[in-house]
Amino acid sequence: MLRLREARSSLRMTILLRGVMTKTLVSIVMGSDSDLEIMREAGKALEEFGISYEMDVTSAHRAPDRTADFARKAAGRGIQVIIAGAGGAAHLAGVIAAHTSLPVIGVPIPSTSLQGMDSLLATVQMPAGIPVATVAIGRPGATNAGILAAQMIGLGDAAVAQKLARHKEKLARGVEEKSKKLRSSWGG
Ligand code: C2R
């Protein structure tokens, strides 16, 4: 009986360890701490898929050496995907992509009077040869950056791939519920 209980609890531990990765696979960086409120959404998305991440501030313009150093060393530290958010003349993601072969996802932050159109164009309009996977402006973009990073990791990780499939099912159920609610309130 004791052995059965021990076996059950060790199985539970294994499942727990499988569910939450301990190795940091994604690095989320942003041009300033003023971007944190939006960039936090990328972290929240990664948490849903049990993926460990780190977060930091670095700036291609204000701290070019620090940014280059971060980008050059990321792969060697075991990072698999970099998410970079910046506003205004948002060159952070592009400059990071110039210094690493890791996939870089850019999040345009709406932090100036141009409300993110400036950041979007600065992030997305990369010259051929240095891709940055640019997502939508602001909060939805940050969420999608987290999901996209999970999809990249899911290519080689069955547990993450399974969680991604469940995520899609949840989205579809949400639409079903909204449809039911709308039709019943409309008398349809
Ligand atoms: P502050 O709030 O620090 O003045 O920053 C940041 O991402 C932020 O949205 C204002 C905005 O400047 C952006 N920033 C960049 C870069 N560094 C900071 N676009 C860069 O290197 O690309």
Report pLDDT digits (tens) over 82-101. 999 999 999 999 999 999 99
For residue 48, the CA-to-ligand 1 centroid distance in Å is: 28
pLDDT > 70: what percent of the chain?
88
For 178-188, the pLDDT digits (tens) are 999 999 998 76
- The pLDDT of residue 2 is 44
**pTM for this one?**
0.89
Element (H, E) at 54: strand 52-57
Mean pLDDT by 10 residues, the chain (188 residues): 46 42 92 98 98 98 98 98 98 98 99 98 98 98 99 98 98 98 88
User: For 97-120, b where at least 16 C-beta lie within 10 A, e where not — what string?
Assistant: bbbbebbbbbbbbbbeeeebebbb
Query: What is the CB < 6 Å shell around ligand 1?
Result: 30-32, 34-35, 59-62, 86-92, 109, 111
